[in-house]
Amino acid sequence: LMDLARDSDRLKMDTISADLTLSADGNRYLLLILDAQSKAPALNSVTALAERREPESTRIELDAQANKISDEEAVWRWARPQPLTSLRISMASEGVLPVALSWRSGEKEAWQPLTKTVLYRLDGKRSEDIQLSGQPVEAVRITTINARLPTSLPAISGARDKYQLVFNTQGKGPYMLAWGNRAALKADVALDMLIPPSLRKTQSVNDLPLAVAQEDVMLGGEARLTATSATEQQSSWKTLLVWGALIVGVLVLALMAWRIWREVKKSGSV
């Protein structure tokens, strides 16, 4: 403990780190033992500060479907792009396999390099999970390096954070939750608009009534996943008009240059 002052400067050390839990049923007191050779300071009060830790997100594992392309290449896909935070690759049998990994965010998107690593399964141990930054991943590709894929392809699963959807109900259930319309307008609101902060102090979000999913209902089909909103359609038309004007301008300039070249050629021949 230290509290030194000189002129306008002050050096103060009044915090001691400790990994313990104080409670009425467990540790209730702290004993401070001072060095006998030092003068005991006058302590006015002692305050315990709880370490603030952000709650860890619950994660869910999603298995990918494998498709062997050749003896050196295979692709694992998810039904829809997922914001993955890590990849787990498990070999079916013991062995070592040097590979190059790549990923893509959509079926029509280009492959992006991920990493080069060595997959292994030896003595009950396996290669470590590969960390991702949460970007949408639709597929992962494995290309072997100076090796062939095993007869039984490795299993790949991706981990993503689990989300809680809080909605305000009106009337009696059942309720319909529609998702996947890319042309839909944003309608989400902040959590404070649904549950006031003062109420969350006494009632946790996890204590709210849960909605249980029933049978799936097909509304708009796969076409709605790639639909464009009115704003995007207007922007696309403006882009096409700009490109059209540029192309027409280039053609006009080319025509003028051609006519000038003909006039110059005629004058030269005369």
Tell me which H or E stretch contains 204: none
**What is Dmax (Cα atoms) for the chain?**
118
CA distance 266 to 270: 6
* Nearest by Cα to 55 from 212, 168, 159, 205: 205
pLDDT per residue of the chain (270 residues) written in tens, 0 to 9: 777 788 888 877 777 777 777 777 777 787 877 777 777 777 778 887 777 665 566 789 999 999 999 999 999 999 989 999 999 999 999 999 999 999 999 999 999 999 999 999 998 899 999 999 899 999 999 999 999 999 999 999 999 988 878 888 888 878 887 777 767 777 788 888 888 888 877 877 777 888 888 888 877 766 666 666 666 666 677 788 888 889 998 999 999 998 888 888 777 665
Alpha carbon 90 to its chain's center: 22
Instruction: Please say whether the beta carbons of 76 and 64 come within 8 A.
Output: yes
26-51 burial, b at 16+ Cβ within 10 Å, e below that, comes to: eeeeeeeeeeeeeeeeeeeeeeeeee
Neighbours of 149 (CB within 10 A): 20
pTM, two decimals, is 0.56
C-alpha torsion 211→184→195→216, nearest 10: 0
> What CATH architecture is 59-161?
Sandwich (2.60)
Residue extents of the structural domains in the chain: 59-161, 164-228
